[in-house]
Amino acid sequence: MLKKIIHIFFLPCSKATLLMEKRNAKSISPKENWQLSMHVKICKWCKAYQKKVEILDSILKKKWFGEEEVDINTAEIQNFKDKVFRKLDF
Amino acid sequence: MTKNETLKNWIEQYSESLLRRAIYLLSDKVEAEDIVQEVFIAAFSSYDSFEGKSKPLTWLNTILNNKVADFYRKKYKSEPYIKLDHFFDETGSWKNDSVLNDWNVSNQESELLDNQDFNKSLEDCIEDLPSRWKIPMKMYYLEEKKAPEVSQELDITTTNLWKILQRTRMQLRECLEINWFSKS
């Protein structure tokens, strides 16, 4: 029943979770922001999810500035350089 | 230094960094090598337009981004259709309660990232995403790009980029829930 009320008066969870992405990127309109806040106040699922969105966002922001996890070795890099030198006729 | 000498220098110095970035974005070594090679060829032919205002690597990274975007646009010509019915029922409500599980990590994200096993789970979950979604997500997080910028580069609407981010994050959440948080 509560789920239904949320759905009718505010917005469905499937939309609320989309608005979270917009809010995260600071691209949310004031109206959408209000709708999302009201939704999260009364929906425990989206409230829990929002917390996880924030955690994931913060983790991904920290994680993906570097590429050091990429698996490539010195020999492969050297091979590549040689290939490009040949290609460009250096 | 002549143009050839400069290019030679750049290839020596920046191949590794460019390759790592390309492999990360494309999740494919062969594809990545081809693209970085194209980057150097493009840099060679448009060398005159490089005015030294930015650092060479910054300029090469910009060319790489454009090449990755070209690759993406060619591969995925139509706008994506993103389904959420795995997560939500027909009224748009959550299908199950797994989202309610407590992750218990408030303010400890850095600790998580220091944990090798967690990193491995996260990387596996990311690599499991379809590349149609993975590439936009990675471009979005790389250098913290803005959504309009990424969607313009990839030639998708901003709305679709939000949907892609929503869908990838839902899947990552579920994957981590299963492979990490429920086990730790």
Tens-digit pLDDT string for chain A (90 aa)? 666 666 656 789 999 999 999 998 889 999 999 999 999 998 999 999 999 999 999 888 887 655 667 888 999 999 999 999 998 887
The answer to whether the Cβ–Cβ distance between B8 and A44 falls below 8 Å is no
Do the domain assignments include residue A85?
no
Q: In angstroms, what CA-CA distances link B161 with A90, B23, B129, B155? A: 42, 22, 15, 10
What is the ipTM metric for this complex? 0.86
Contacting residues of B for A62, CB less than 8 Å apart: 109-110, 113
A38 touches B: beta carbon within 8 Å: no
* pLDDT at B127 > cutoff 60: yes
Residues of chain B with CATH 1.10.10.10: 98-181
Q: What's the confidence (pLDDT) of residue B79?
A: 76
Q: In angstroms, what CA-CA distances link B68 with B20, B41, B135, B136, B168? A: 13, 15, 9, 10, 19
Domain residue limits at A53:
2-62
Do the domain assignments include residue A77?
no
Number of structural domains in chain A: 1
Q: What's the confidence (pLDDT) of residue B136?
A: 93
Q: In this structure, are residues B137 and B164 in contact, taking their beta carbons and an 8 Å threshold?
A: yes
Q: In this structure, are residues A57 and B144 in contact, taking their beta carbons and an 8 Å threshold?
A: no
* pLDDT at B97 > cutoff 70: yes
Name which of A4, A48, A90 is nearest B100 (Cβ-Cβ): A48
DSSP per position, A10-37: S--HHHHHHHHHHHHTT---HHHHHHHH
Q: Is CATH 3.20.20.140 correct for B3-75?
A: no
Q: What is the CATH number of domain B98-181?
A: 1.10.10.10
Contacting residues of A for B106, CB less than 8 Å apart: 51
Do the domain assignments include residue A44?
yes
Nearest to B163 by CA among A21, A37, A36: A21
Q: What's the confidence (pLDDT) of residue B77?
A: 83
Residue B107: pLDDT band (50, 70, 90) is: low
Q: What's the confidence (pLDDT) of residue A5?
A: 67
Place of tokens 């000498």: B5
Residue range B114-136: mean pLDDT, rounded: 90
Residues of chain B with CATH 1.10.1740.10: 3-75
The span from the CA of B163 to the CA of B161, in Å, is 5
Q: In this structure, are residues B40 and B56 in contact, taking their beta carbons and an 8 Å threshold?
A: no
Size of interface A-B (CB pairs under 8 A): 136
What confidence tens digit (pLDDT) does each residue in B25-80 have?
Answer: 998 999 999 999 999 999 999 998 887 788 999 999 999 999 999 999 999 988 77
